Each structure stands twice: as structure tokens, then as C-alpha cells.
Amino acid sequence: MENIQLIETDDGSSSLLNVVLNETYHSTNGAIQESTHVFIKNGLQFFAEKSKANTVSVFEVGLGTGLNVLLSIKFSNENNFKIHYTSIEAFPVDWPTASRLNYISHLKDESLAFYFQQIHQSACSEEIIMSSHFSLHKIKNDLLSFPLNPNQFDLIFFDAFAPSKQPEIWRYKILEKIAATLKGGGVFVTYCAKGQVKRDLKSLGMAVESLAGPPGKREMVRALKLTS
């Protein structure tokens, strides 16, 4: 892809650099360790343990390299946990670019190769059944204009580019839209720990936690939507 460069992060896993924004898709301290810590351990695993449910509906802001989807499939397979996964991305990474990422070899699980290819080559705007426990619905659209239904999702992975690079995605109106689409008791997780983001989430009636971040980052944020 034009203006996209392959990079290696400090844990040995790949990421991409958007040359125009001068922004990486993951922490340069480690792509897989960041996604695992923020979105799987403190998001998906936390929700599964908290809710005692055996199924979850996930909405991801920023499909990017597909790493969060891949790690969610891995969690689903290993824990017999059913996931309905929806992800929105205005500028999807093409397969020739994604195929150069080393996630499969880094995770040492060749069974994930088939899923990773499906993540990037499946059609948008329709639900794809990837396994008996996992479905994926990709949306090629802009979060700013795309309508979301209230009380639709259990878990939000907010993985947009940083506020300094993509400020429009982190505005109050967008966070309000995201909070509204969460079910009562739902969970919002992001790598970003900016004070304004935390204040906005609190003003939207969310219970906000500042948690230890992944290696190289002091904090991350998790917010719970209070049940009425």
C-alpha cells in the first residue's frame, strides 16, 4: 500500500507505519504484547470473567492490521468462547501488505494462518462465519458518519490512531456515540490514557479505571457502562 511501511516492534512482532501521519498501528515497544495486554487481557478476558457469559458481541474501532481480531479468534478457540466481532475501518489494509506481517510465526500457531487470511480477504458489510465460535462483520466506512444502534455491543475495542494524529475520532460526540452503543454493564477499553478522554467518559456516566499499561506505556483506560 502507498504510504504504508512494514516495521518490526521491540517484541519482534510486526506493525505498520502510516508515513503520512507518521504514526504506527501499534506501540513500537511491541505490537502483540500491547494488543494482548490492552484488548485481550483487560478487555475480552476481563469481560468473560466478569459477566460469566459464554458469548460476547465486540465492536472494534480500527481494524488496522487485524491483530486484535486474530488474538480474539485465538482466545475464542482456546476458551470455547463465542464471539460476534464487528470492526469498522475506513482504509482497510490490503492482503499483499498484511501477508507480510509475522503474527502467525510469532504466535507459533499455524492454525491461525487460515483465519488471518480470511480477516483480510473476506467481504465487507456481511457477517462471515469463521468458526463455530467466531463470526466477523467488517465495515468499510467512517465512524464519524456511520450509524450505530444503542445497546448493541458488550465490549468496545477503541483502537483508533492517537488523538494527536486523529483528533476527530476522540471527540466527545464520538465517545458519546460509542457509549450509547454499549449495553448496560458493557466494557470499553483503549490504549489511550489522555486526561480529556477519561473526563469525557466519566461525564458520559462510565466508571473509568486507569490500569497499568503494556510494556513501555504507564497507563491504559478501561471504562464500564453502569447499568440503570
Q: Specify if 132 maps to a domain.
A: yes
CATH code of 81's domain: 3.40.50.150
Asked whether residue 14 is domain-assigned, the answer is no
Q: What is the pLDDT of residues 155-194, one digit of tens each?
A: 999 999 999 999 999 999 999 999 999 999 999 999 999 9
Q: Which three cell numbers stand for residue 7?
A: 516495521
> E strand or H helix at 86, and its extent?
strand 82-88
Closest CA to 48 of 178, 155, 206, 156: 155
Sign of the Cα pseudo-torsion (37, 39, 44, 50, in order): positive
State the pLDDT at residue 228. 56
pTM, full prediction: 0.97
- Total domains, the chain: 1
Cβ atoms of 141 and 87 within 8 Å: the answer is no
User: Region 33-43: what's the mean pLDDT?
Assistant: 98
Q: What is the rounded average pLDDT of the residues 94-99?
A: 97
> In this structure, is residue 9 part of a structural domain?
no
Q: Would you say residue 7 lies in a domain?
A: no
What's the confidence (pLDDT) of residue 202? 97
Inside any domain, residue 25: no
Residue range 215-227: mean pLDDT, rounded: 94
Residue type (1 letter), 41: K
Closest CA to 93 of 60, 114, 121: 121
Is residue 145 assigned to a domain?
A: yes
β-pairing, 14-18 with 4-8?
A: antiparallel
Flag whether 118 is in a domain.
yes
**Does 6 reside within a domain?**
no
pLDDT of residue 35: 98
* Residue span of the structural domain in which 128 resides: 31-225
